[in-house]
């Protein structure tokens, strides 16, 4: 039945929206939807030719043409919506400056990997115009300058404005929040 | 006793001092920017760019950063022992200035990010605005152009190029659903009227009298362009 494949794609998008990380790109499904869309479009063209535009009284052919057109439009919309959701997840990761794990990276399609790289570049260029305010910083209002943090994983030495401190697991520090913001986002330390 | 009192005295003395003109302008700028940020967050469309205010705040931020660096250097050079009274004094100053700095940075960041979020949301719509009509700053326009290019490339190479050339558009507006996402100008916003003597506005079937200082909840389209604060 027409439209079932695209529906699967929408289901996949819905599942993606609830997942922590991006699932595997459904290459075969996307390809199948594209193929169906192409078939339908050819059919629509054929009907269009045989009914000589819209002047025909042949209501059966008109109806078939209409359904084929709707199917094509819907498929395209589903394809775009699915890709848009995945792209917006990548955008979020770029703005939060999260490194995607190797596993998530392998779940991306090749065009998505290109997109991720180019968007990261674009954001860092735009950010470069506003170095003072650190555009990718936290969007929560600042409460304290100094915070107590606990180290979650070993990460060696970290250089800050006020000297070096050594990140060993389970140690605690009293530091400037601005200095460790990056480490919090990357999951190396947590606020206490 | 005097050791403890002195810094506090100096702060109290500082309180009475009238800030000079440039300080006042700088303080106003942060407040102005905060207003612009709140309005930007609440309004459904991108508002005119508050470039001058932002620039003033940015130069203030740079000034504060310089101040912090200078003072921290003093502490580090060891001319002043950090436990001594001068050291305590500087530490207190640093604490106050750094808090202020973080706040100013946060407002500037929030403002720029709020605009970008809305630009991303309706990217194609904003790219169709003429340079005269657009509320976007030149930097934001550049961002928008580059963003559209890379996103189009993503769709193209993912599937659009495999479709018939009639189906490759991203900006079809005919058919059941327009592909160009426009800001919803009928979104309700809470406003405060900042000028007296405004003409009544029409919102739906009702005519609303805008009293100076009054708070109203209206559709954005009814009050766009009026001298109001969006709160």
Write the burial class of residue A112 (CB in 10 Å: 0-12 exposed, 13-18 middle, 19+ buried).
buried
Please give the pLDDT value at position A66.
83
Contact A40, A74 (CB under 8 A): no
The per-residue pLDDT string of chain A (192 residues; one tens digit each, 9 = 90 and over) reads: 677 888 888 898 899 888 888 889 998 898 888 888 888 888 888 877 776 655 556 777 778 888 888 888 888 888 989 999 999 999 998 988 888 888 888 999 999 999 999 999 999 999 988 888 888 877 888 777 788 888 888 777 777 666 677 778 888 888 877 777 777 877 788 888
Among partner residues A76, A91, A139, which is closest to B167 by beta-carbon distance?
A76
- Please tell me the distance from the alpha carbon of residue A109 to that of residue A102, in angstroms, as a whole number: 13
Is the same domain home to A98 and A152?
no
Tell me, yes or no, if B30 comes closer than 8 A to chain A by beta carbon.
no
Cα separations (Å) of B47 from A11, B29, B37, B108, B112? 37, 17, 10, 15, 12
Scanning every residue of chain B, which has its alpha carbon at the shortest distance from the alpha carbon of A42?
A: B164
DSSP A134: -
> Does A139 reside within a domain?
no
My answer on whether A157 and A67 are in the same domain is no
Q: Would you place residue B4 in the very low, low, confident or very high pLDDT band (cuts 50, 70, 90)? A: very low
Contact with chain A for residue B99, Cβ under 8 A = yes
Q: Least CA distance to A176: which residue of chain B?
A: B98
Q: How far is B109 from chain A (nearest CA, A)?
A: 5
User: Comparing B8 with B181, which gets the higher pLDDT?
Assistant: B181
Q: Which residues of A touch B (CB under 8 A)?
A: 30, 33-34, 37-38, 41-42, 72-73, 76-77, 79-80, 83, 87, 91, 109-112, 114-115, 118-119, 122, 126, 129-130, 132-135, 137, 139, 141-142, 145, 161-162, 176-178
pLDDT band at B80, cuts 50/70/90? Answer: low
Which residues of chain A have a CB within 8 Å of the CB of B175? Answer: 73
Confidence of residue B2 (pLDDT cuts 50, 70, 90): very low
Number of domains in chain A: 2
Give the ipTM of the model, two decimals please.
Answer: 0.78
Which of A133, A137, A160, A162 is the best mutation test for B, with the most CBs of B within 10 A? A133
Do A187 and A123 belong to one domain?
A: no
The answer to whether residues A189 and A151 touch, using CB atoms and an 8 Å cutoff, is yes
Sign (positive or negative) of CA dihedral A162, A167, A168, A174: positive
Indicate whether A185 and A155 sit together in one domain: yes
| C-beta neighbour count of A184 within 10 angstroms | 16
DSSP summary character for residue A56? -
Q: What angle do CA B185, A13, A109 make, to 5 degrees?
A: 110
> Residue B86: its pLDDT value, please?
74
At residue B17 the predicted structure's pLDDT band, cuts being 50, 70 and 90, is low
Give me the phi and psi of B218, to 5 degrees please.
-135, 165
Q: Rounded to whole angstroms, what are the CA distances from A168 to A28, A159, A185?
A: 45, 14, 17
pLDDT the model gives residue A60 = 77
Residues of A in contact with B147 (CB under 8 A): 119, 122
Residue A180 sits in which domain range? 146-191
State the architecture of B2-121 in CATH terms.
Up-down Bundle (1.20)
**Which one of B37, B136, B150 would you mutate to disrupt binding with A, by most A Cβ within 10 Å of its Cβ?**
B150
End position of a domain, from candidates A74, A100, A128: A128
Does residue B7 register a pLDDT over 60? Answer: no
Instruction: Over range B65-73, report the average pLDDT.
Output: 85
**Rounded Cα–Cα distance for residues A79 and B170 (Å):** 12
Task: Give CATH 1.20.58.1030 domain extents, chain B.
Answer: 2-121
Is position A32 within any domain?
A: yes
Query: Which of B80-84, B188-192, B216-220 shows the lowest mean pLDDT across its residues?
Result: B80-84
Q: With contact defined as beta carbons under 8 Å apart, do B65 and B57 qualify?
A: no
So what's the pLDDT on residue B68? 86
B96 CB within 8 Å of a chain A CB: no
Gap from A37 CA to chain B (nearest CA, Å)? 8
Specify whether A12 is located in the same domain as A102.
yes
From the centroid of its chain, how far is CA A179?
A: 28
Both A122 and A150 in one domain: the answer is: no
Distance from CA of B219 to the nearest CA of A (A): 27
Model pLDDT, residue B82: 55
A68 and A16 part of one domain: yes
**What is the model's pLDDT at position B99?**
86
Question: Chain B partners of A87 at a C-beta cutoff of 8 Å?
Answer: 151, 154
Segment (H or E) for B108: helix B85-121
Give residues with Cβ within 8 angstroms of A9, minimum separation 6: A26, A29, A30, A33, A78, A79, A82
- Taking an 8 Å cut-off on Cβ atoms, the answer to whether B58 and A132 are in contact is yes
A15 with A110, same domain: the answer is yes
CB-CB contact of A111 with B157 (8 Å): yes
Which one has a higher pLDDT value, A162 or B194? B194
Is the CB of residue B157 less than 8 Å away from at least one CB of chain A? yes
Pairing type for strands B201-203 and B206-208 reads: antiparallel
């Amino acid at each position: 039945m027409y439209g079932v494949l695209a529906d699967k794609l929408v289901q996949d998008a819905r599942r993606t929206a609830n997942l922590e990380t991006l699932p595997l790109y459904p290459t075969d499904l996307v390809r199948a939807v594209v193929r169906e869309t192409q078939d339908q479009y050819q059919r629509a063209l054929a009907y269009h030719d045989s009914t000589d535009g819209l002047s025909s009284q042949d209501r059966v052919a008109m109806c078939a043409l209409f359904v084929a057109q709707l199917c094509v439009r819907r498929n395209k919309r589903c394809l775009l919506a699915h890709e848009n959701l995945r792209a917006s997840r990548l955008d979020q990761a770029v703005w939060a400056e999260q490194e995607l794990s190797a596993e998530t990276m392998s779940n991306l399609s090749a065009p998505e990997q290109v997109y991720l790289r180019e968007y990261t570049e674009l954001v860092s260029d735009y950010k470069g115009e506003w170095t003072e305010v650190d555009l990718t910083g936290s969007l929560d209002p600042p409460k304290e300058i100094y915070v107590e943090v606990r180290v979650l994983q070993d990460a060696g030495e970290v250089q800050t404005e006020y000297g070096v401190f050594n990140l060993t697991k389970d140690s605690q520090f009293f530091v400037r929040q601005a200095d460790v913001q990056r480490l919090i986002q990357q999951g190396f330390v947590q606020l206490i | 006793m005097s050791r403890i009192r002195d810094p506090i005295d100096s702060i109290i003395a500082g309180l009475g001092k009238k800030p000079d003109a440039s300080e006042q302008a700088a303080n106003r700028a942060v407040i102005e920017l905060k207003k612009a940020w709140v309005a930007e967050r609440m309004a459904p469309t991108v508002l005119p760019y508050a470039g001058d205010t932002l620039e003033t705040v940015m130069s203030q931020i740079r000034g504060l950063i310089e101040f912090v660096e200078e003072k921290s250097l003093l502490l580090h050079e060891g001319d002043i022992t950090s436990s001594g009274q001068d050291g305590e004094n500087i530490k207190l100053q640093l604490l106050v200035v750094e808090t202020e700095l973080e706040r100013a940075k946060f407002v500037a960041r929030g403002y720029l990010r709020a605009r970008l979020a809305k630009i991303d949301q309706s990217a194609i719509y904003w790219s169709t605005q003429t340079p005269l009509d657009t509320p976007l700053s030149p930097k934001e326009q550049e961002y928008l152009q580059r963003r559209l290019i890379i996103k189009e490339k993503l769709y193209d190479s993912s599937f659009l190029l495999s479709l018939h050339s009639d189906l490759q558009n991203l900006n079809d507006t005919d058919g059941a659903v327009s592909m160009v996402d426009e800001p919803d100008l009928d979104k309700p916003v809470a406003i405060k009227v900042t000028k007296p003597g405004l003409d009544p506005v029409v919102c739906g079937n009702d005519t609303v009298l805008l009293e100076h200082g009054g708070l109203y909840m209206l559709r954005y389209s009814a009050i766009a362009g009026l001298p109001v604060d969006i709160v």
